Amino acid sequence: MPSQTTQEKKIERQLALPFIHAFNMSLRSIRIRLGRSLIVTASIVLGIAFLMSVLSSNAFITGIIEKGPENLKISLQQNLDEIRIRQIWLVSLSLLVCVVGIINAMLMAVVERSREIGTMKCLGALDRFVVELFLLESSMQGCVGSVIGVIIGIFATFVIYLFRYKGLIWTIFPGDLLLKYSLFSIILGIIISVLGAIYPAYVSAKMEPAEAIRREV
């Protein structure tokens, strides 16, 4: 009898949340709470747009220094060194604010959904599943937000430089550099949104199901 039960346990004892289901569930959670999701996404968009505008401004200046006329080079070179440190400081601050914003919004989502989380645990969800759902949700928002942010950042900077340097901007257009910076920003945006979701996801995973279900919101 005991051997039979252990064998039975070995065969049957698996709990799983296939990725496709997790993905679907996260996507729907985002859709059904579109307002809140948009706020999270917007904060990522703003942070990444700022980062990207700084980066692409650097890219344009680098382009001018490499390919532009001599008289612009010297003044820009000086500018660049001066501004860089302040830029790094500002960008880090804005991204930090972005992370705090995400943590805040996700914590609220955890409280709002505590009953749902408790129910899923009663149905056999592991803590890991809950964490997975929250991280997935956040990284999706992060991905969309950073792509939009990158587009806005490049576009805004481009328009500014177009007004300042007119046709010159086309000849020095630093496509490669912009692409590199865009990829960097998108990856950073996803990392930031996942970072912001880790603590809320941990809180939700640690909730006892009985308590989570009882909690009224």
Residues in contact with other proteins by the rule CB under 8 A: 12-18, 21, 25, 28-29, 31-32, 115-116, 118-127, 129, 208-211, 213
Select 29 or 43, whichever has its Cβ closest to other proteins. Answer: 29
Shortest CB 27 distance to other proteins, Å: 9
88-104 burial, b for 16+ CB within 10 Å, e for fewer? eeebeebbeebbebbbe
Shortest CB 9 distance to other proteins, Å: 8
Which two structure tokens, joined as six digits, stand for 153? 């950042």
- CA dist 106 and 87 (Å) reads 28
DSSP state of 69: -
DSSP state string for 84-139:
HHHHHHHHHHHHHHHHHHHHHHHHHHHHHTHHHHHHHHHTT--HHHHHHHHHHHHH
Q: How many residues does the chain have?
A: 217
Select 180 or 214, whichever has its Cβ closest to other proteins. Answer: 214
Select 20 or 85, whichever has its Cβ closest to other proteins. Answer: 20
- CA dist 12 and 164 (Å) reads 68
Select 31 or 166, whichever has its Cβ closest to other proteins. Answer: 31
Shortest CB 39 distance to other proteins, Å: 19
Select 85 or 217, whichever has its Cβ closest to other proteins. Answer: 217
- CA dist 115 and 33 (Å) reads 15
Select 25 or 107, whichever has its Cβ closest to other proteins. Answer: 25
Shortest CB 101 distance to other proteins, Å: 24
Select 62 or 116, whichever has its Cβ closest to other proteins. Answer: 116
Which two structure tokens, joined as six digits, stand for 29? 């959670």
Shortest CB 121 distance to other proteins, Å: 7
Q: Closest by alpha carbon to 190, among 129, 148, 130, 127?
A: 148
Shortest CB 32 distance to other proteins, Å: 5
Under 8 Å between Cβ of 203 and 110:
yes
Shortest CB 125 distance to other proteins, Å: 6
